[in-house]
Amino acid sequence: MGYGQMPTSQVGVDGGYPQQYPTTAPGGGNVPPGGMGMGGSMGAPGATGAPGATGAPGTAGGVAGTTPGAALPSDLFSAEGAAGPGFGSAAAAGPGIFNMIGDQNSLGGVVPPNPPPRPPVLPGGTGAHLYPTVRNFKVAENQSPRPTDRLFFDFNYFNNVSAAVDRREMSPVSYIKAYRYILGFEKTFNNGLGSIGMRLPIDNITANVGQINTSATSSSTGDLSIFAKHILTQNVQTGSLTSVGFMVTPPTGPHNFAGSTYLQSIHTIYFQPFFGWIYNHNNFYIQGFSSFDFPADPNAVSMMYNDVGFGYFLYRNPDRSAFLTGLAPTFELHVNTPLNHRDPYNPFDISGTADAVNLTFGVNFEFYRRSVLTMAYVQSVASPRPFDGEAVVLYNFWFGRSARSNIPLNPPMAVQ
């Protein structure tokens, strides 16, 4: 058994969580989890029946039996061993792997506050132009393709937002620093196969404005986002899955980001359908999202997002009483593609947006198998860069089903 792998006897009866104790049978006898079935094969506790079969009294059913040396499902995302055709086991709704970190794309704004039909003359002799601030949410930000029960907090700091465009256009607004604090929750339904959640930002922005570089700072709550997702297919032996979802961001906050008076953008409702997936293999995992972001106002930019993250567990401990129970560095690639309004230097288009490619480098710390602290740095590599750099701190606290159960990240070992 390699480092970080779970023995078959620990693959559990509570949503796949590794059991640390035997099951008590009627009459006081102890039956180890995954007790021996007839013929010496390893079966579900008390039964060797079809997926979801109920075990004998005193044992838990619902996990398909495994014959010694049996091969794993050929389809990593198949419903083999699941609760029904095309769906994953409802009991296997634990967090499993760590969330994607994300990168927070940029959004256009103009100077002065009221967008005119043509560029006006500003102090210094330059025309108004597009100066990106921070756009609405991407679904890949502190999100997992798997439905979970959690409370979460995000912090994002953006340094020197839109510096490349500001320098080229001699903008009267420079050295923009944006801060975003996000509070949110997610709750599962349909026995863990789906979830719904919300997140609300508190935005803060600071910039140098005018020829004398007067510092201007403002803060405000932002637009509330509501999201929902549901598992399509799932391999309950590995935790690999596919899912779909939808996010809507109505304009509940102020018209300007953080209530600023020197930046503006088109304020409208956004609709974001998405597809997510997870692939697990031993200590290594990959996950990703593909989504479209459509505004209700055609004058705002429509976006396509493709996000993929790679992670590796350097350390895992199934003991819930241990302080540190997981450690995994992660690397993510984010490609943000505008589908229209593609010229960020067009002074007549207040929604002009450049392609963006951002790289995220992070590390996840899991405590007591109940909460995760994530720290990351985001570097943009496409030109013009939406920001010089971004710092990220995330905290997720699992409750309910997600606190009670975890997906086994390793395939069960065959009994020799």
Domains and CATH numbers, the chain: 106-404 (2.40.160.40)
Instruction: For residues 46-64, give the mean pLDDT.
Output: 43
d(CA 2, CA 316): 12
Q: Which helix (H) or strand (E) holds 168?
A: helix 163-169
How are the residues of the chain apportioned to helix, strand and coil, as percentages rounded to the nearest 5? 5, 45, 50
For residue 1, is pLDDT > 50? no
What pLDDT was estimated at residue 188?
97
Q: Residue 34 — pLDDT band, cuts 50, 70, 90?
A: very low
Instruction: For residues 384-405, give the mean pLDDT.
Output: 87
What pLDDT was estimated at residue 175?
77
Secondary structure of 369-409 in the HEC alphabet? CCEEEEEEEEEECCCCCCCCEEEEEEEEEECCHHHHCCCCC
What pLDDT was estimated at residue 213?
60
Give tens-digit pLDDT for 100-145.
999 875 544 444 433 433 333 333 333 333 344 445 678 999 999 9
Give tens-digit pLDDT for 258-317.
777 777 678 899 999 999 999 999 999 999 999 999 999 999 899 999 999 999 999 999
Is the separation of the CB atoms in 231 and 407 below 8 Å?
Answer: no
Q: Which residues pair with 379 in a beta bridge?
A: 359
Give tens-digit pLDDT for 213-250.
667 788 889 999 999 999 999 998 889 999 999 999 99
Q: Which range, 55-69, 203-217, 270-284, 397-411, has the best average confidence (pLDDT)?
A: 270-284
For residue 372, is pLDDT > 90? yes
- CA 30 vs CA 24, 26, 37, 103, 189: distances in Å: 5, 9, 15, 50, 34
Q: Which position has the higher pLDDT, 95 or 291?
A: 291
Q: Residue 212 — pLDDT band, cuts 50, 70, 90?
A: low
Strand, helix or coil at 259? helix
- Maximum C-alpha span of the chain: 90
What pLDDT was estimated at residue 132?
40
Percentage of residues of the chain with pLDDT beyond 90: 42
- Phi first, then psi, for residue 266 (nearest 5°) are -70, 125
For residue 57, is pLDDT > 90? no
